Amino acid sequence: MDMNIYFPERVSLSNTPTPLQKMDRLSQQTGVEIYFKRDDFTGSELSGNKVRKLEFLLADAKKKGADTVLTCGGAQSNHCRATALAAIRAGLSSLLLLRTDDPANPPPISGNILLDRLSGAPIVWITPEQYRARDEIFEREARRLSSKGRKPYIIPEGGSTALGAWGYVAEMEELVADLQRLDDGDVKPTTVVCATGSGGTTAGLALGARLTGADIRVVGVNVCDDRDYFVNIIDGICREFQWSYFAGEDAAIPPYDIVDGYVGRGYALSRPEELAAIRDLVRLEGVVLDPVYTGKAYFGMMSELAKNPRVFGERIVFVHTGGLFGLFAIADQFADLL
Ligand SMILES: Cc1ncc(COP(=O)(O)O)c(C=O)c1O
């Protein structure tokens, strides 16, 4: 197994390696060995998957002499919250483009928005329509900052670029070491399941599985859009990664699967059965998922297992990519479930 992976420069922000924990009761209930890779432990305020990508993206921003990072996301974006806080840790400023239906009446200060506001990062509220043309708004804000002598650096949605994907190559390297310890040097066939929201995590895991050569299948459960949309995005990230870092060598896209059908009511909109699955996991294992990403992906994984207990093989690693603050923003939706 080739474990000599040469990573680009990164700033150290995450609390890694994260633990790999067996979910004993869940494994017993499903008849499949289920582990959680606890990427919700990557930090307290920096909890979740985004900080792994930001370690590489912020190092690049600093190397290029930037002093302000611009990024974007939904109103309760974990990525924007992590970027605002990580930027401070890295000695940079940030500016956030946040999507909301009515920018004149932004959502209340709760969950991630509270942390965004505590960070002091300027927030530009934009409509879903403006969000679709966000590159223009990025350019406008970058020009405005440049005219004031600032040096802007744009981080695309979710940090899901070839450079950001290195964060999940690093995670895969970590996971392979976890599994080798578990399996006495070998790695038994394993399926890694994660939430797919902007594609970078799934792409990084697939690239990491290829680079480590481990017998690991990567499955993303999309929480918005559809399978075709994400295949296009993830293949694009993988292609850019191969060209940028391996000069196109081994340019075949690494294998991965997207399990579609669990978007439910739409991005960041929950169904009672998804919230009930979050509640039941807390009561079974004492582990708390978020409603927008990990809760939906977990609900999808469990629904697939209910149809076919061997659909992901004998062993699953579910990546808990964080997002807990988003749960507090929808506390009222749990009222009938408690
Ligand atoms: C908590 C959480 N989990 C999973 C994801 C999905 O990761 P990615 O955007 O890399 O697909 C995100 C962000 O989109 C997230 O905030």
Per-residue pLDDT of the chain (338 residues), as tens digits, is 445 789 999 999 999 999 999 999 999 999 999 999 999 999 999 999 999 999 999 999 999 999 999 999 999 999 999 999 999 999 999 999 999 999 999 999 999 999 999 999 999 999 999 999 999 999 999 999 999 999 999 999 999 999 999 999 999 999 999 999 998 888 899 999 999 999 999 999 999 999 999 999 999 999 999 999 999 999 999 999 999 998 766 678 999 999 999 999 999 999 999 999 999 999 999 999 999 999 999 999 999 999 999 999 999 999 999 999 999 999 999 999 99
Task: Please check whether residue 7 lies inside any domain of the structure.
Answer: no
User: 316: domain range?
Assistant: 20-48+160-337
Task: Please check whether residue 107 lies inside any domain of the structure.
Answer: yes
What atom in ligand 1 is closest to the CA of residue 78?
A: 16
Which one-letter amino acid corresponds to residue 117? R
Task: Please check whether residue 233 lies inside any domain of the structure.
Answer: yes
**Which of 144, 159, 174 is the endpoint of a domain?**
159
Give yes or no for residue 321 CB within 6 A of ligand 1. Answer: yes
Ligand 1 centroid–CA 148 distance in Å is 33
Note whether 165 and 261 are same-domain residues.
yes
**Which of 131, 159, 187 is the endpoint of a domain?**
159
Note whether 233 and 323 are same-domain residues.
yes
Note whether 138 and 209 are same-domain residues.
no
Ligand 1 centroid–CA 169 distance in Å is 15
Q: What is the pLDDT of residue 250?
A: 62
Note whether 123 and 177 are same-domain residues.
no
Question: What is the number of domains present in the chain?
Answer: 2
Ligand 1 centroid–CA 65 distance in Å is 28
Note whether 96 and 185 are same-domain residues.
no
Note whether 167 and 271 are same-domain residues.
yes
**Which of 159, 179, 202 is the endpoint of a domain?**
159
* Residue 270: closest CA among 282, 260, 278, 258: 278
Give yes or no for residue 79 CB within 6 A of ligand 1. Answer: yes
Q: What is the pLDDT of residue 4?
A: 79
Query: Whose alpha carbon is nearest atom 3 of ligand 1?
Result: 321
Give yes or no for residue 323 CB within 6 A of ligand 1. Answer: yes
Give yes or no for residue 77 CB within 6 A of ligand 1. Answer: no
What atom in ligand 1 is closest to the CA of residue 201?
A: 10
Give yes or no for residue 204 CB within 6 A of ligand 1. Answer: no
* Residue 176: closest CA among 54, 321, 2: 2
CB 61 within 8 Å of CB 323: no
Note whether 311 and 257 are same-domain residues.
yes
Q: What is the pLDDT of residue 1?
A: 45
Note whether 154 and 164 are same-domain residues.
no
Q: How many other CB atoms are there within 10 angstroms of residue 303's CB atom?
A: 15
Ligand 1 centroid–CA 195 distance in Å is 6
Give yes or no for residue 201 CB within 6 A of ligand 1. Answer: yes
Alpha-carbon span 117 to 97, nearest angstrom: 13
**CATH number, position 69:** 3.40.50.1100
Alpha-carbon span 290 to 326, nearest angstrom: 6
Give yes or no for residue 161 CB within 6 A of ligand 1. Answer: no
Note whether 123 and 176 are same-domain residues.
no
Give yes or no for residue 291 CB within 6 A of ligand 1. Answer: no
Residues 47-99 have pLDDT tens digits of 999 999 999 999 999 999 999 999 999 999 999 999 999 999 999 999 999 99
Q: What is the pLDDT of residue 207?
A: 97
Ligand 1 centroid–CA 31 distance in Å is 28
Note whether 175 and 35 are same-domain residues.
yes
SS (H, E, C) the chain: CCCCCCCCCCCCCCCCCCCEEECHHHHHHHCCEEEEEEHHHCCCCCCCCHHHHHHHHHHHHHHCCCCEEEEEEECCCHHHHHHHHHHHHCCCEEEEEEECCCCCCCCCCCHHHHHHHHHCCCEEEECHHHHHCHHHHHHHHHHHHHHCCCCEEECCHHHCCHHHHHHHHHHHHHHHHHHHHHCCCCCCCEEEEEEECCCHHHHHHHHHHHHHCCCEEEEEEECCCCHHHHHHHHHHHHHHHHHHHHCCCCCCCCCCEEECCCCCCCCCCCCHHHHHHHHHHHHHHCCCCCCCCHHHHHHHHHHHHHHCCCCCCCEEEEEECCCCHHHHCCHHHHHHHC
Ligand 1 centroid–CA 297 distance in Å is 10
Query: Whose alpha carbon is nearest atom 9 of ligand 1?
Result: 198
Hey, which residues are catalytic here?
77
Note whether 97 and 41 are same-domain residues.
no
Task: Please check whether residue 330 lies inside any domain of the structure.
Answer: yes
Note whether 133 and 227 are same-domain residues.
no
